[in-house]
Amino acid sequence: MALCVCVMNPVQRRIGELACLELGPRKRAIRSVSRKEVIPDRRYSWRLYADEKGNELVDVVVLDVNLGVALDIDIEVREQMQPPNPRWLVSALRSR
């Protein structure tokens, strides 16, 4: 029996919190995310937007992390926000 541990970074966690059904009419879907360097290699902020063009700011997450961790967070958030690849889905269905 394998144990799967799902660890989310704070940016992913906030995106999930904003999409929570318990918020009712205040629920927000995040469509784009951008990162800003506040203090080089020390503090970064991620801006969460409701639209893909980055006009409707919903929230900001600020973390004290170095550049390496910031880049890791960028990759994880990008993977979370990308739609699934249809080719992968077709090949997974064929392998059954």
Show the tokens assigned to 30. 């995040």
Entry field: residues in the chain = 96
Looking at the domain assignment, is residue 4 inside a domain? no
Condensed to tens digits (0 to 9), the pLDDT of residues 42-81 reads: 999 999 999 888 889 999 999 999 999 999 999 998 888 8
Looking at the domain assignment, is residue 3 inside a domain? no
> How confident is the model over 29-34, as a mean pLDDT?
88
- Domains: count for the chain: 1
Which alpha helices (H) appear in the chain, and where do they start and end? 10-18, 67-81, 86-94
The pTM score is: 0.72
Looking at the domain assignment, is residue 42 inside a domain? yes
Look up the domain containing 29 and give its range.
10-94
What is the spatial distance between Cα 61 and Cα 4, in angstroms, rounded to a whole number? 27
Condensed to tens digits (0 to 9), the pLDDT of residues 14-30 reads: 888 888 777 777 778 88
pLDDT surpasses 90 at 92? no
Question: Where does the pLDDT of residue 1 fall: very low under 50, low under 70, confident under 90, or very high at 90 and above?
Answer: very low
Within 13 Å and on the Cβ side, how many CA atoms surround 20? Answer: 9
Looking at the domain assignment, is residue 1 inside a domain? no
pLDDT value at position 17?
86
Looking at the domain assignment, is residue 36 inside a domain? yes
